[in-house]
Amino acid sequence: MVRSPVWAGRPKTRGLVLDVIRAARSISRVELAAATGLTGATISEVVRELIGDGLVVEAGRGASTGGKPRTLVQLNPVARYSVGVQLERNACVIVVVDLAGRQVARTSFRGVASLPPDQALPLVAAQVEALLTTAAVDRDKVLGVGLVSYGPQDRHAGVLLTPQPTEEWYDYPVAPRLAEQLGLPVLLDNDAAAAAIGEYWMGAVEPHSTYGCIYMATGIGGGVVVAGEVYRGSSSNSAEIGHISIDVHGEECSCGNVGCLENYAGPSTVVRQALATPGLARRLALDPAADDFLTEFARIAAAANTGDPEARELIERSARYLGHAAVTVAVLFDLDVVVLAGPSFVVAGSIYQSVIQQELDRRLFARRAHPVRVVPSVNGSDAAAMGGAVLVLQSELTLGRSLPEDGARPAPAVAGADEAS
Ligand SMILES: [Zn+2]
């Protein structure tokens, strides 16, 4: 694999220019200078380098503003690619995206269930290889793989710090092992944080907004993005809203806390409640022995959509609890937007959206200063995998950090030399 020359020499300046071009889709050099605050001479030089490296191409002329029409530049989408892998017990999604963040290939398969990592990771690697072959993507142009999964995790070491789905996964070097098998750099990150940054990259939120993402798949996670970067906290285990307590007298959770949101609002809880409602369980033919409870949850969500009062009550109750959590996160971070992402919002997303919006409108501390909008993710059930791929692009292109070959700690951003340029 080639080491991209993307940030050789002047990482911050090139990253900044690339990010502005990405966000604008196409832009003139004059507009680039205005948007970045860099001089026209610096912009000309940086754009010439980026065109020379094949990362940027000229793209026709913009409207004239009096003088001669300006030549526009845009990212060259086929210059680089990245892979996003969302790893879960019940469902896995793999995507290949181009430099512009467009999905060029996708596959999904049943999750890793209760396989130990030394059996599960070769299966994941085989799926990635097959997808890259199907997409006919030049492997030399693949920057790396963003592997995203639940927390807690040690992102820098590339290990999960949870015995899920089995004991063998705890502290197992998932990212380094997958990197060895694929011969590509692999970064590990939180699925909800990845889903959150994916929204930014796809242009779904204002570039300067502070927004939160509630990610619901098997479990419930969260991510907060400030000015285009995920808020990391001290160990990248921030905004884990599934494990904030909503009942101080609640039952103990496997995480150690009591009364965790996930145990009140998560899909497995809704399924359990539906099974305990005999009429509903019979009507929807719910299977109490099903190990794939996301399918059962989707059935309840679909019934809620079509007006089944008992199904609707359960989904609304789950949404109300999520609304409590959304208010908490919005109060802590003074958010503008809350994005709902992940497969468990796909079927009854509009019910969740309106109930969570009601809670924020009613109870938010800063509601008189500004509203907080609740919106569905542009990436839907692929949000985490797309975000994983975007984290690779962002890490390589705009933050000036190279992905490690062995999947271990990314190098810190190189500061210095060209900062003034
Ligand atoms: Zn918990």
- Rounded to two decimals, what is the model's pTM? 0.88
The domain tally of the chain equals 3
Measured in Å, residue 150 CA sits from the centre of ligand 1 at 13
Identify the residue whose tokens are 């899920």: 164
240 and 95 belong to one structural domain? no
Question: Does a structural domain hold residue 403?
Answer: no
Spatial neighbors of 338 by CB under 8 A, at least 6 apart, are 211, 212, 213, 214, 326, 329, 330, 356, 360, 372, 373, 374, 375
Interval between CA 252 and ligand 1 midpoint (Å): 8
Question: What letter does residue 402 receive in the DSSP assignment?
Answer: P
Q: How far is the CA of 259 from the centre of ligand 1 (A)?
A: 7
Does any domain span residue 113? yes
Q: Are residues 178 and 190 in the same domain?
A: yes
Render pLDDT for 171-184 as a digit per residue (tens, 0 to 9).
999 999 999 999 99
Same domain for 74 and 96, yes or no, is: no
Which has more confidence, 361 or 205?
361
- Mark whether 91 and 154 lie in a shared domain: yes
Assess contact for 377 and 195: CB atoms under 8 A: yes
292 within domain boundaries: yes
Contacts of residue 295, defined as CB under 8 A and 6 or more positions apart, other chains included, come to: none
CA 247 to chain centre: 29
Tell me, rounded to whole angstroms, the distance of Cα 334 from its chain centroid: 20
Q: Measure 261 CA to ligand 1 centroid, in angstroms.
A: 7
313 located within any domain: yes
DSSP state for residue 398 in the 8-state scheme: I
Structure confidence by residue, pLDDT tens digits, 389-407: 999 998 887 766 666 655 5
Q: Are 222 and 356 in contact (CB under 8 A)?
A: no
Distance 354 CA to ligand 1 centre (A): 26
What is the Å distance from ligand 1's center to 321 Cα? 14
As a whole number of angstroms, the distance between CA 192 and CA 148 comes to 8
Q: Report the CATH number that the domain containing residue 270 is assigned in CATH.
A: 3.30.420.40
Is residue 406 in some structural domain?
Answer: no
CA of 2 to the centre of ligand 1 (A): 43
Over the stretch 230-271, which tens digit does the pLDDT of each residue have?
998 888 889 999 999 999 999 999 999 999 999 999 999 999
Among 5-14, 75-84, 98-107, 238-247, which is the least confidently predicted range? 5-14
Please report the pLDDT score of residue 407 as a whole number: 52
CATH code: domain of residue 9: 1.10.10.10
Quick one: 249 and 367 in the same domain? yes
Do residue 220 and residue 273 come from a single domain?
A: yes
CA of 253 to the centre of ligand 1 (A): 4
- In the reported structure, the alpha carbon of residue 265 is separated from the centroid of ligand 1 by a whole-number distance in angstroms of 12
Query: Is there a single domain that holds both residue 225 and residue 99?
Result: no
Same domain (yes/no): 61, 117? no
Rounded to the nearest whole angstrom, what is the distance from the C-alpha of residue 406 to the centroid of ligand 1? Answer: 32
Of residues 250 and 293, more confidently modeled: 250
Report pLDDT for 134: 94
User: Whole-angstrom distance between the N-terminal and C-terminal Cα of the chain?
Assistant: 30
In Å, how far are 90, 118, 202, 309, 363 from 390, measured between CA atoms? 23, 26, 9, 40, 34
Determine the distance separating the centroid of ligand 1 and the alpha carbon of 272, expressed in angstroms.
18
CA of 310 to the centre of ligand 1 (A): 27
Give the percent of the chain with pLDDT over 70: 91
The type of residue at 386 is M
Distance 248 CA to ligand 1 centre (A): 12
Quick check: bond before 376 cis, omega within 30? no
Residue where a domain terminates, one of 78, 101, 128: 78
Mean of the per-residue pLDDT values for the chain?
A: 89
Q: Do the domain assignments include residue 319? A: yes
Query: Looking at the structure, do residues 70 and 87 belong to the same domain, yes or no?
Result: no
Residue 379 has φ and ψ, to the nearest 5°, of -100, 0
Does 409 fall in a domain? no
Q: Rounded to the nearest whole angstrom, what is the distance from the C-alpha of residue 361 to the centroid of ligand 1?
A: 27
Rounded to the nearest whole angstrom, what is the distance from the C-alpha of residue 256 to the centroid of ligand 1? Answer: 6
For residue 363, pLDDT beyond 90: yes
**Could you tell me if 67 and 86 lie in one domain?**
no
Instruction: For residue 390, give the nearest of 153, 185, 181, 202 by alpha carbon.
Output: 202
Indicate if 73 and 84 belong to the same structural domain. Answer: no
Which structural domain, as residue segments, surrounds residue 262? 206-376
Q: According to the model, what pLDDT value does residue 402 have?
A: 64
Read off the amino acid at residue 270.
V
